[in-house]
Amino acid sequence: MADRLTGAKKFLLLLPPVFSRAARPAPRRVIAALFGILCLLALSASAQHTGVYLPQGIPVFGYAPDYFQGNGLNLTLSQGISFCQPGTPTRYAGGMLAVADNSTNYIFLNTSSSCAPASNTTGYGANIPIAVVVTAGGVVTSFLDDRTPFRSGSSVANGTSALGTSAIAAGSCASVVTTSAPGVATTDNIMADFNADPTSTLGYQPGAMLTIVKYPTANNVNFKACNNTNASITPGAVTLNWRVVR
């Protein structure tokens, strides 16, 4: 029967029984028993209080700012650290971040602004994800935690570039092919591959193959085809698939 008792009923079992005058315990024992009961009740109340007010979020293991639900449409971000650029830690002291009402908000570290926390309603893009926050009626209704301690490099931009088909003199390069890539910085890296097998295309055949030089500039990717042979080459049409990472 005792196992079936819960909550306050179990505490009642701890109350000192009513004794006859002859068997009544010393006043000090009664006081000690009452003090013990009060301590148990206080611990129980404290645990319930802490459970209600624990921050909504999980430990981040030093990766990115933790977040708490703030007031209305303001999120409280705790301090944190992230490697915005490889080998360079960026520290955030904590603060508030406003989100849009009646929207799905993406909270992230903005890689284009020293990894400062930011939000939008379109997506993470090339930034470091923190969470998806849904709002309605002036309050936050749900969180989806998207943080991870693993980051192999974020994609800044991607696209395609068609190389030129004009003759390239021996020992020279064709005019640069520049393609817009918003957000790209000169410190980023470009990965590029042909979108099909080019080895049957003039200019990319064994024995008379052009060299492709690639490099980033602010908000752009650039490609040059250079001729290292001793004869002019008029290349056929090829297209490169590219991705910029940092």
Domain positions in the chain: 67-145, 155-245
pLDDT for 52:
26
pLDDT for 120:
93
Check residue 2 and report its DSSP letter: G
How far apart (Å, rounded) are the C-alpha atoms in residues 44 and 60?
29
Helix, strand or coil for residue 172? Answer: strand
Check residue 17 and report its DSSP letter: P
Of 190, 185, 232, residue with least CA distance to 208 = 232
In a 13 Å sphere around the CA of 196, the CA atoms on its Cβ side amount to: 7
Cα–chain-centroid distance for residue 211? 37
Of 70, 153, 138, residue with least CA distance to 102 = 138
pLDDT for 90:
78
pLDDT in tens for each of the 246 residues of the chain? 444 444 444 433 444 444 444 445 556 666 666 666 655 554 444 333 222 223 343 333 344 455 555 667 888 887 777 776 666 777 777 788 889 999 999 988 887 787 888 999 998 877 788 888 898 998 888 888 887 765 555 667 889 999 999 999 999 999 999 999 988 899 889 999 999 999 999 999 999 999 999 999 999 999 999 999 999 999 999 999 998 887
Neighbouring-strand partners of residue 75: 69, 97
pLDDT for 20:
44
